[in-house]
Amino acid sequence: MNDPRQQSPSQLVTSPSSTPGHLTALIRHFDDLRDNTHGGSVSRHDKEAQFASAVELVAPVARQALDEVNTHLLLDTGQVVVTGLQRDAEGGLMASWDLAWPEQRAAGVAPVRLLAYYGIGFHHPHLRGATVGDWPLNVFTSDDATDQLPIMRAIVAADVHNLVFQADYRIIPAVMRPPSATPPRSATH
């Protein structure tokens, strides 16, 4: 298994300090699509080992996100259920973090879910929610707008990922241009 922290040519286009982390992750993802690897790994076995490690790394972050909702929205009435890493019926790997609470169960709707999965026919793993599609826009002040930045980052990154899935990684210039061919950033941006 290769070191997934090793920089590819497209990662050298921007300095790590100037590129937001979620965009660095997208560049790694698109490089993997281009190179037919995942974090430098080629075999399913090595990719699964990397996925297992990723699940351990994201577990406290997933828990934090759900605990914040439980504390501030559900007034500590919820319960987080964690599956841990397991095989699905088709032989892929998955791990989930669900947040359930009495009113949700009474309404007969699914719990809030974060799901990390590596489907058996997939090139690489993914992270998703149970129902995410639309996000409410309730912005009335500049502070409200600023508070939307992490959400907007997630929506934009997911949209870029889905557009690559609809087309392919070649629609992303940072993956296709060698570092010397990348035009300099404008000082006005």
Alpha carbon distance 142, 28 (integer Å)? 33
Identify the top-confidence range among 4-8, 12-16, 125-129, 143-147: 125-129
The end-to-end CA distance of the chain, in Å, is: 38
Q: What is the pLDDT of residue 148?
A: 66
The H or E element that residue 162 is part of is helix 149-166
Q: Which residue has the higher pLDDT, 26 or 178?
A: 26
Q: Quote the pLDDT of residue 189.
A: 44
Q: Tell me the per-residue pLDDT of 96-127, one tens digit each, with 9 for 90 and over.
A: 999 999 899 888 888 989 899 999 998 889 88
Contact status, residue 95 vs residue 111, Cβ threshold 8 Å: no
In angstroms, rounded to a whole number, what is the distance separating the alpha carbons of residues 104 and 136? 19
Report how far residue 118's alpha carbon sits from residue 116's, in angstroms, rounded to the nearest whole number: 7
How much is the pLDDT for 187? 46
What are the pLDDT digits (tens) for 38-58? 888 999 999 999 899 899 999
Q: Which residues contact 71 (CB under 8 A, 6 or more apart)?
A: none
Contact (CB, 8 A) for 54 and 95: no
The beta strands (E) that lie in the chain are given as 79-82, 86-87, 93-100, 112-118, 126-129
Residue 80 is predicted with a pLDDT of 95
Question: Looking at the predicted structure, is the pLDDT value of residue 10 above 60?
Answer: no
